[in-house]
Amino acid sequence: MENLNFLHFATMVMLTVTACIALSSFLKLGTIIGFIAAGVALGPHTPGLVATTDIDLLQQIADFGVVLFLFTIGLEVKPQDLWKMKKSLVVQGVGQVLITASVICTILYCLGFSWQLGLVFGLIFAQSSTAVVMTLLEERGEVNAAHGKNIFTNLMAQDLSIVPVMAIIPMLAHQQGTHQTGIILPLLTGISVVAAVIVIGRYLLPRSLDWAARERNKEGFVLCLFVALIATLWLVDEVGLSSTLGAFLLGMCLSNSQFRFTLESIVNPFKGLLMGLFFISVGMSVDPVAAGTHIDQVLILLVVIVLVKVVVFTLLAKLDQKSTGVAVKTAFALSQVGEFAFVLLGVATSIGLISAQQGAVGIVVVSVSMVLTPCLYGIGDRLEKRLIYKHAPEISLAPENKAPLVIVGLDEVGRLIAILAKRAQIPYIGVDINYDSIKKAKELGLNAHFGDIMFPSIRRKVGLSDANAAFVSLTHSESLRKVCLMMNQYPQLDVYARTNSRADEFFLREHGVEFVGATYIESTLLRGRQLLKNFGLPEDEVMNLIDELKSDLFEEEYLSFKQSR
- Domains of the chain (ranges, CATH numbers): 1-53 (no CATH), 54-173+182-389 (1.20.1530.20), 405-564 (3.40.50.720)
**Would you say 336 and 134 are in contact if contact means Cβ atoms under 8 Å apart?**
no
pLDDT on residue 441: 87
Peptide bond just before 44 cis, omega within 30 deg: yes
The Cα 117–Cα 537 span in angstroms is 76
Q: How far apart are the first and last CA of the chain?
A: 41
The Cα 109–Cα 14 span in angstroms is 46
pLDDT on residue 486: 86
Taking each continuous run of H as one helix and of E as one strand, the counts in the chain are 28, 6
**Would you say 70 and 128 are in contact if contact means Cβ atoms under 8 Å apart?**
no
pLDDT on residue 307: 92
Angle at 95 (CA atoms; ends 93, 101), nearest 5 degrees: 105
Counted residue by residue, the chain has a size of 565
Each of the 565 residues of the chain gets a pLDDT tens digit; together they read 444 456 666 677 777 778 877 777 676 666 767 777 777 777 776 665 555 555 666 667 777 777 777 787 777 777 776 777 777 777 787 888 889 989 988 988 888 888 888 888 888 888 888 878 887 887 777 777 778 888 888 887 887 777 677 667 766 665 434 444 455 666 677 778 888 888 888 888 888 888 888 777 878 888 888 888 888 888 887 776 767 778 888 888 888 777 777 787 788 777 767 777 777 777 777 677 766 777 888 888 899 899 999 999 889 888 888 877 788 888 899 888 887 787 777 777 777 777 777 877 887 888 888 888 888 888 888 887 777 655 555 444 444 445 688 999 888 888 888 887 887 788 888 998 877 788 888 888 888 887 778 888 788 878 888 888 888 888 777 788 888 888 888 888 888 888 877 677 778 877 777 777 666 566 666 666 666 676 677 888 777 777 776 666 555 554 554 545 5
Burial class (CB in 10 A: 0-12, 13-18, 19+), 318: middle
Name the region of 406 (left: φ>0; alpha: ψ -120 to 50; beta: rest).
beta
Question: Collapsing DSSP states into helix, strand and coil, what is residue 28?
Answer: coil
The Cα 305–Cα 313 span in angstroms is 12
pLDDT on residue 266: 80
Question: Collapsing DSSP states into helix, strand and coil, what is residue 199?
Answer: helix
pTM recorded for the entire structure: 0.59
Q: Read off the DSSP letter of residue 404.
A: S
The Cα 261–Cα 306 span in angstroms is 38
Residue 471 CB partners (closer than 8 Å, separation 6+): 405, 406, 407, 408, 414, 417, 496, 497, 498
Question: Would you list the DSSP string of 233-287?
Answer: HHHHHHTT--HHHHHHHHHHHTTTSTTHHHHHHHHHHHHHHHHHHHHHHHHHT--
Kindly report the number of other CB atoms within 10 A of residue 24's CB atom. Answer: 20
pLDDT on residue 311: 92
The Cα 532–Cα 541 span in angstroms is 9
Residue 285's identity, in one-letter code, is S
Residue 124's identity, in one-letter code, is I
**Would you say 149 and 320 are in contact if contact means Cβ atoms under 8 Å apart?**
no
Question: Collapsing DSSP states into helix, strand and coil, what is residue 430?
Answer: strand
The Cα 171–Cα 173 span in angstroms is 5
Residue 318 CB partners (closer than 8 Å, separation 6+): 324, 327
Residue 32 CB partners (closer than 8 Å, separation 6+): 132, 135, 136, 139, 279, 373, 374
pLDDT on residue 396: 45
pLDDT on residue 554: 55
The Cα 293–Cα 126 span in angstroms is 25
**Would you say 450 and 432 are in contact if contact means Cβ atoms under 8 Å apart?**
yes
Q: Half-sphere exposure of 485 toward its Cβ, with a 13 Å CA cutoff?
A: 10
CA distances from 499 to 28, 471, 511, 516 (A): 21, 11, 14, 7
The Cα 457–Cα 441 span in angstroms is 22
Residue 256 CB partners (closer than 8 Å, separation 6+): 78
CA distances from 19 to 12, 33, 461 (A): 10, 12, 48
The Cα 130–Cα 96 span in angstroms is 15
